[in-house]
Chain A
């Protein structure tokens, strides 16, 4: 029967053999290769910057829309509601960008992993809240879009049954998205982005992140169990 201490000696002996047989591909360590990989990371930062810029444009455009329709209360409120949602999304995105820049892999594992997981939870919550608000504000968004693109005020032109139908659709959209994600999340699409989105929506990623945070806390504290 082997004890861990005995195995440690064998492991370290094995290390010496490993040292001789390991081959490091020096070409892949060249600055050009590392810098091209860095540029991929930079590209991710650029995507996040573009997304933030788009939300900023949306915030400004919706603010202008709200001011322009100050006298039409229903359109004004629709524009304001969509604007508040856009501001929330922009703030959350900027917060995520700042926190991402603060992630430091040279920190102790306990600290770094806590930060990484908290960031992951922030991203998942932003996705969920974005989807929920988008679904609840379905009619206001529709009103703004139809006014801007087609010049049609749906509050004046649409029938009551249309409103009821769309309000019910808006209310059903979020639970429907969660149901579809739970039922077909694993089968739908090969795109990692779609898969992640669905797992964010159905709560799988959130509970996994919370479980990991809990195990991290337990790991960081002395327990008698």
Chain B
């Protein structure tokens, strides 16, 4: 595939799946500046790895793998990251007024996700997006049984969190 063609294909696919970028960044970063840095790092890594993308695979599964790996590394990294790869004033993916227009349940869900440790964050994002246990297991690199067990635990934790308590955040997210 010629370079121009490859870039076009990349742009189209990223545009079709931009919500993955948005949700991963929003789940792993609290402030806008970090979200911006993370979205840029994810896109750079997607572009660098795009040559190895197998067209027979689902792009969303592949994108989740790269995006979540970059997000977890970003989250884990000590404060040494190279910041602002691209100009500060520009934003890669923007959703005007999204944060304020979210229904309460979705806002609480984001708060719940925020309280989870990075690996469970990845798991719940994949689950909420409707990925099958098989796809989730393939992205995470763990068994399907393990995925099912962990999702059940998250469900229980979520139930406990949402039932009456004003505190929003996992009780047993690990």
Contacts and interface: CB of A to CB of B under 8 A. Distances in A.
A29 B90 CA distance: 11
A147 B146 CA distance: 63
Contacts of A27: 90
Contacts of A11: 106, 109, 128-129
B98 A34 contact: no
Contact of A105 (B45, B81, B98, B138): B45
B111 interface: no
List the 5 closest A-B pairs by CB distance, nearest first: A108-B141, A110-B141, A192-B80, A4-B155, A105-B69
B7 interface: yes
Contacts of A150: none
A8 interface: yes
A37 B40 contact: yes
Interface string A99-121: 00000111111111100110000
A185 to B, nearest CB: 11
A5 B162 CA distance: 13
B143 interface: yes
A4 B15 CA distance: 28
Contacts, number: 180
A29 B43 contact: yes
Contacts of A12: 128-130
A105 to B, nearest CB: 5
Nearest to B66: A105
What secondary structure prevails in chain B residues at the interface with A? helix
B68 A8 contact: no
| Size class of the B contact interface (CB-based, 8 Å) | 35 or more
A121 B138 CA distance: 26
Contacts of B65: 105-109
Interface of B: 3, 7, 10-11, 14-15, 18-19, 22-23, 40, 43-45, 47-49, 52-53, 62, 65-66, 68-70, 72-73, 76, 78-82, 85-86, 90-98, 101-103, 105-106, 108-109, 117, 119-120, 122, 127-130, 138-143, 145-146, 149-151, 154-155, 158-159, 162-164, 174
A18 B92 contact: no
Q: Which of B62, B90, B92 has the most CB of A within 10 A?
A: B92
A21 B99 CA distance: 12
Interface residues of A, number: 58
Contact of B69 (A2, A107, A220): A107
A26 interface: yes
A10 B106 contact: yes
A86 B86 CA distance: 37
Contacts of A64: none
B173 to A, nearest CB: 11
Contacts of A15: 19, 129
